[in-house]
Structure formats: C-alpha cells, structure tokens
Amino acid sequence: MSDIPPPGPDATIVESVAHNGKPCRVVDNTGTIERAELERLLADLIRERHFGLRALSAKGSNSIRLGEPDFTHMQFGDRIYRMLLFPYEARLETF
C-alpha cells in the first residue's frame, strides 16, 4: 500500500467519516480552494462511496496492489487541480 506524504504547511484539511465509519478527509495541498467547495467535494465522495480499499492493477501488470491511489483532475473556478484518491484521503494538488 502506498504511503501518503504529509500535507504541506499551507494545506487546508476537511475531515469527516466515510460510509463505513472510518475517518476520511480532503486535503487541498495548494491552500487555494474555498473551504465550502472542499466540504461539498468530501460529502460527494462519501455519498458515492469512494473511500475504502480497492485493488488496482497497472495496465499490463500481473500483480494487484491494495490501496494504490486513483488519479483524476478537478476544476474549481477557472483552475484545474490534480486529485489523488487514496483509501481514506482525497489530495488536491497543482496541475
């Protein structure tokens, strides 16, 4: 399972509880996204059951690694951010 690096010094962190009762959070490592937007994102991720362990295999690989992050992009306002979804943390970073 991947180790998650600690949040940056200017990060905004919003915490809650996932559908399975475990703590989860959204970390805006840029410190630029409004807290209300982060709270909505976290609520959506919880409602859609995106938190928890998943087994992923890299394309063409024979092995499966538990807890590897999913990668996607999100837009807030006019800016696009990279989102890494770990088992119980969504991390937003510059793109």
Question: Does residue 39 form part of some domain?
Answer: yes
Do residues 11 and 28 make contact, with C-beta atoms less than 8 angstroms apart? yes
Q: Quick check: pTM over 0.85?
A: no
**Residue numbers of the domain that contains 79:** 12-94
Question: Does residue 1 form part of some domain?
Answer: no
Question: Does residue 3 form part of some domain?
Answer: no
Question: Does residue 7 form part of some domain?
Answer: no
Question: Does residue 2 form part of some domain?
Answer: no
pLDDT of the chain along its 95 residues, tens only? 457 789 999 999 999 999 999 999 999 999 999 999 999 999 999 999 999 876 554 555 556 565 567 788 999 999 999 999 999 999 999 98
Work out whether strand 89-94 and strand 23-28 pair parallel, antiparallel, or are unpaired: parallel
Number of domains making up the chain: 1
Question: Does residue 60 form part of some domain?
Answer: yes
pLDDT at position 35 is 97
Question: Does residue 6 form part of some domain?
Answer: no
